[in-house]
Amino acid sequence: MPAAKPGRVRYSILLMLFLVTTVTFADRSSMSIAGSALQADLGIDAVMLGYIFSAFGWAYVLGQIPGGWLFDRFGTKPVYSLALFAWSLLTLLQGFVDVLPAAWAVATMFLLRLAVGFAGAPCFPGNARILAAWFPTAERATATAISSSAQYAATALFAPLMGWVVHALGWQSVFVVLGCLGLALSLWWLKGLHGPREHPRLQAAELAHIENGGGLIDLESHGARAAGPQWRHLRLLLGQRSLVGLYFGQYCNNAITYFFLTWFPVYLVQARGMSILGAGFAAALPAIAGCIGGVLGGLLSDGLLRRGHSLTLARKLPIVVGLLLSSCMVLCIYAESDAAVVALMALAFFGKGLGSMGWTLVADTSPRQILGLSGGLFNTFGNLAAITTPIVIGYLVSRTGSFDWALVYVGVNALLAVASFLFIVGPIHRIELPSQPGGGSAARLAASDSVS
């Protein structure tokens, strides 16, 4: 009797993850669409706008390790649901800061962006846990790529819409619309998210397909949760050369992301002379290219793995090729037409999407018992770029009166990421927790890849 074919419930979980992550990034990038109009309305300069852009990053970074530990301790569903509700409510409140005097409005906006960053910190560690639990290894890169492509889908879908909202209703309405949408999604998320063993529609064949393929189906069980914060686990993770290279590579990679999420629409308006509405539509084209690149990168990686290539080659090849393509955005300095700029940015963000394998590597390498903590640490280092990139670009633009050096800065980060993945990150394998500190074969495995 032929074996039953596995069902497709895991893809419904991936769809939920994609939609929620899209709204997450729309909330995160809402300031970039509103930024130019907000800057004019509140009378602030480029440096101050850069600090407001970076406010999200300060709190987002600080919340990564606590957020990751909360997932390991209490499970994905309650922590993620609360976080989604909180950051959506805080996004909504940003639409009302203009009722305050100008100085208070600027300070309140900065504080609200801080709060949104802290509330949103658990998002990607939670995504990594969900994907590790629901997808076998040979499908994980594609699933992660589809999930990660939501950052581009957010701009492709919402940049034109939010550009129109700013044009027709004012910058305040961007935050109101996105906040209300997020609050509605938080209720849907709370009702529909389950672990593999708890999902009411998951059949035995699909559960076996996930488990036999390397999916961590018991990740949400109480027995698999961390008992409390273990600082020795942080030391173990930070002692892995491959993870140090991964962290640095993600930091450089995210410099591209946060240029796109913060300054890119402002660049189109101030350096290329586009209208806010036109910039919203122009920003959508590179975002679509990034989304396509992200999905293709995952398909390429999993395809290489299924054809018998090593996990290391399957994961690294799309990263290196993609980030080399991303560095071409420097050529925008010499482009004369707006069409050429948009085309170069589309190629750069296609490459950025193609190389978005970081979270796949987290799921492939992290100790299963502390996957949330590992993801939080990874995102802590990666999202330092959320702090530095907006501020550095703000100073570069303010001091030079041009975006040329800003483009150079982002392009150089792409090349540094390539160097990190090629020369620091070694073979890709899962790191195991030692059975006791300093002992056992698992400890030797962890030590074999440690930083000398």
Tell me the pLDDT tens digit for each residue of 266-308: 888 888 878 767 777 777 788 888 888 888 988 898 889 888 8
What's the DSSP call for residue 434?
-
Task: Determine, yes or no, domain membership for 428.
Answer: yes
Domain of 280 in residue numbering reads as 9-448
| Dist. CA 60–CA 224, nearest whole Å | 26
Q: With a cut of 70, which residues of the chain have pLDDT below it?
A: 1-4, 29-30, 32-33, 35-36, 219-231, 276, 371-372, 435-452
> Shortest CA distance to 147 belongs to which of 168, 158, 132, 166?
132
**Which H, E and C letters describe 287-336, residue by residue?**
HHHHHHHHHHHHHHHHHHHHCCCCHHHHHHHHHHHHHHHHHHHHHHHHCC
Structural contact between residues 143 and 374, judged by C-beta atoms closer than 8 angstroms: no
Q: How many domains, the chain?
A: 1
pLDDT number for residue 320: 93
pLDDT number for residue 241: 85
What's the DSSP call for residue 436?
B
Say whether pTM exceeds 0.95.
no
Question: Max CA-CA distance within the chain?
Answer: 74
pLDDT number for residue 439: 44
| Dist. CA 104–CA 212, nearest whole Å | 57
3-class DSSP state of 32: helix
Task: Determine, yes or no, domain membership for 4.
Answer: no
Task: Determine, yes or no, domain membership for 2.
Answer: no
> Shortest CA distance to 158 belongs to which of 23, 37, 4?
23
pLDDT number for residue 438: 45
Task: Determine, yes or no, domain membership for 175.
Answer: yes
pLDDT number for residue 219: 66
CATH code for the domain of 50: 1.20.1250.20
pLDDT number for residue 447: 35
pLDDT tens-digit readout, 30-84 = 676 676 677 777 777 777 777 777 777 788 888 877 777 777 777 778 888 888 8
Task: Determine, yes or no, domain membership for 1.
Answer: no
